[in-house]
Structure 1
Amino acid sequence: MDNYMGAIMIAASCILVLLIGAFRKKKEWIINFILRAVVGTAAAFFVNGFLVSQGLSIAIGINPITVLTSGILGFPGLIMLYGINLYTLL
């Protein structure tokens, strides 16, 4: 099990170094990602509040996975999260 953890740590370090190199050249990507993540998280918060006030239990949790999804995919990713949550309730 230690060999697997070491391999995962090495792979994660390599990916992190590659991402830093790519993002250094593209600062607007980072700014765009952060803005989408913040706006998507705020939208999820308000949509969750609206759904709860209407008596619907389709609210998604706000956690790092949902923030990353809304940051990478934007509003379509947020809609996808609500769709997945609705599908699991059926």
Structure 2
Amino acid sequence: MEKYYGAIAIAVLCVLILFIGAMKQKSEALTTFVLRGFVGAVGICVVNEILKSQGVTVAAGINPVTVLTIATLGISGFALIYGILFYHLL
């Protein structure tokens, strides 16, 4: 089991190093990524409050998975999160 965690740690470090190398050249992309994640988290809060005021029991949580989804996919990620929640409501 320890070998499994070691392999995962090495893979994560390799991806992190590649990501840092790519972002060193493209700091604008990192800024956009972080900004989309922040705006997406604020958007989730706003939409949750609007749905709550309308009496709809669907609310997305703000966690690393949802923020990374929105930061990676943008508006389509935001729609994906609420689409999945409304699908489960059916």
TM-score if structure 1 supplies the norm length? 0.96
CA distance in 2, matches of 1:60, 1:71: 15
Look up the match of 2:4: 4
- What is the root-mean-square deviation of aligned Cα atoms in Å? 0.7
Structure 2 unpaired stretches of 5+: none
- Give SS of 2:40's match: helix
Deviations 1:39-85 (A, max 9, x none): 11111100000101111011100111111111111111001100001
Aligned length: 90
Q: How does 1:1-90 map to 2 (within 5 A)?
A: 1-90=1-90
Percent of paired sites with the same residue: 49
CA distance in 1, matches of 2:71, 2:78: 9
CA distance in 1, matches of 2:37, 2:31: 10
In the TM superposition, structure 1's runs of 4+ consecutive aligned residues that sit over 6 Å from their partners are none
CA distance in 2, matches of 1:76, 1:44: 13
Structure 1 unpaired stretches of 5+: none
Give 1:48's aligned amino acid: N
TM-score if structure 2 supplies the norm length? 0.96
